[in-house]
Amino acid sequence: MINALAAECDGYKPGVMLKTNNPFRIFIGFIVLFSVSCQQDESNPSVEKVMDYFPLRPGNEWTYARESVGEDGQVSHADVERWKVNPDYFIDFYSVTATGEEHQGYKALYLNGLEIDDIMGTFISTKYVDLPEDSMVLVASDNYNFLRERWIKGGLVKLKTSFGELECICTKTTYHFSNRQDEYQYFCKNIGMYLEEDYNTYVDQAGSSYVIFEGRQTLTDFEIK
């Protein structure tokens, strides 16, 4: 059975069904954190460079083992994916097999001062590493075909990995479909994205909501300049 690690980001217990957070408490917390973050001076020399946590340079690449998890908690599918930064500073995605690589698509990213942005807004930022570790800051949202939101956890998360103990920025992207999907990504210093974990939230007939672990993507190799 596969075990999840994303509890470090916002309090979910890995692999356990939990009731979701109170929306009113989240709203009040965001108002407080927004007022704090607006006072951050971007010229503060203590603020770390976002490229330290996601080195978006042409030629850099990362290889991931991807695992999907079934309702029984067992791995139902596994494959390999490789990310490469192209000359436009976009991320190209490749499916890796025994016979080679097949291009699957790309993600447009843009370097913007202390953060890297995507089409929704902030993708990763170092603005919040000095905030309390139990805080979550809403940094981006949109509502084209469905509502999406992105949050960044205050402080840094420490992960013990095959590459040693890493200090990471944790982001959480939420997709509001018929059920809610949460995607946690850990961007670790001097490496890039080390881990992604995915959860679905289901609502039962009694109105209670439960979080189910769906899968993970873990770094196995990387080449950065």
pLDDT digits (tens, 9 = 90+) for 14-73: 333 333 344 433 333 433 333 334 444 444 434 569 999 999 999 999 999 999 988 788
- The closest of 192, 193, 212 to 201, measured between CA atoms, is 212
> What pTM was computed for the model?
0.80
Q: Is residue 179 domain-resident? A: yes
Q: Is residue 2 domain-resident? A: no
Q: Is residue 1 domain-resident? A: no
Q: Is residue 86 domain-resident? A: yes
Query: Residue 39: CB partners within 8 Å, gap ≥ 6?
Result: none
User: How many structural domains does the chain have?
Assistant: 1
Task: Print the domain residue range for 33.
Answer: 7-39+47-223
pLDDT digits (tens, 9 = 90+) for 73-116: 889 999 999 999 999 999 999 999 999 999 999 999 999 988 99
What are the backbone dihedrals phi and psi of residue 224, each rounded to the nearest 5 degrees, phi first? Answer: -130, 150
62, amino acid identity: W
